[in-house]
Amino acid sequence: MLNLLKAKLKNSLTLLLSLTLILGIATASLTPASYAALPAGNAITDGKALLRYALPIDNKPVRQLQASLEDISNQLRANKRWSAVSSDLKKASRLLDKPEKILASIPAERQSQAQTLIEQMKIGVTSLQELAAVKDKEKVKEKRIEVLNLVGELEQAMVTDFPYEVPSEYGNLAQLKGRATVTMKTSKGDLKMVLDGYSAPITAGNFVDLVKRGFYDGLEFTRSEESYVLQTGKPKDADGFIDPKTKKYRAVPFEVLVEGDKKPTYGTTLEEAGRYTDMPVLPFSSFGALALARPERDVNGGSSQFFFFLFEPELTPAGRNLLDGRYAIFGYLTEGQEVLDELKAGDKIISAKVVDGLENLQEPSA
């Protein structure tokens, strides 16, 4: 059945549009697409890589280092192009042998930590070169992940301050001024996700605040569409979170940070703004992207309901899907992909907990 559906989708964009899922609240559905100008792109599909690239830093050598290591995965998929892997590793090695430009973006109090990370990366790249020489694909993949985790730590060490001011009109909402990690126990197993407050401080802050309150504990996954989305976050007696202080529905404004912009756009989708070819910093190109559900006709009406995007290349090709800029992503699944793939409507969230980054949560102003 799924194979037949995929075949039809390849030959009919109209059918793809007809499969758009009700993601929002009550009768809400996906906004009709102005798809003609959407870029194709060779999008990144790894959530951890997307999070690394989303960090608000401006250091060309470390980005070149990351890109050379990220590219190894592409080469291994492309019929094991070992010569290209070797070239990537040579570039990484050259960058690490002259670390001065990388260290220039590290604050003084973190220099020692950064130097240690660079030495560890040098050892890791040397190991990768040895593994590539004997064409050990699986061990290269494992070691590459280890080294990229070190790169991510180094890039995180370059971030000193939150890069922009959130509009004061949203001071009544929780904000995540940095990143946080949430673990979620479900009836099928455990999930781990990283939330990006640098790109979506209000949307991520809302989610972290609700997790902190225990709001999601015991809730069911209410909607599942194979190879598309899995949705949850609806309490029994409302469409979203009712703030116990105000007794009112907490509405979260639409929020999206576009590549090249210094701060997010609020209150309007990229489609509504006519920015059809602009790409969000956090795209729908990874299995397990987290986004806020909302009513179709109220772009600022999201609250507690959210969905996991079940990225499937043939149904929702990276760079061509119909969600980028229309729904607000606030993080990515980093562990538990096999569990997410098994979850269906009716399964439950047993508990959710903020395990890192809670200090980055800024409480609402009075």
Domain 57-157, second-level architecture:
Up-down Bundle (1.20)
At 326, the pLDDT band (50, 70, 90 cuts) reads: very high
Q: Which residues pair with 224 in a beta bridge?
A: 230
- Joined tokens for residue 341: 């793939």
Quote the radius of gyration of the chain (alpha carbons, Å): 21
Q: Which tens digits make up the pLDDT trace of 54-77?
A: 999 999 999 999 999 999 998 988
Long-range own/partner contacts, residues 135-143 (CB < 8 A, 24 or more apart) = 135/80, 135/82, 137/76, 137/80, 140/72, 140/76, 140/85, 141/73, 141/76
Q: What are the angstrom distances between the C-alpha of 53 and each of 155, 236, 237, 246? A: 9, 38, 40, 38
* Averaged pLDDT score across all residues of the chain: 88
Interatomic CA distance for residues 59 and 64, integer angstroms? 9
pLDDT of residue 333: 98
Please state the rounded mean pLDDT for residues 348-355.
98
Assign a CATH topology to domain 10-38+167-362: Cyclophilin (2.40.100)
Q: What are the angstrom distances between the C-alpha of 119 and each of 70, 113, 154? A: 19, 10, 11
Strands 361-362 and 306-309: unpaired
User: Domains of the chain: which residue ranges?
Assistant: 10-38+167-362, 57-157
Q: Which tens digits make up the pLDDT trace of 82-96?
A: 999 999 999 999 999
Least confident of 1-15, 45-59, 209-223, 330-344: 1-15
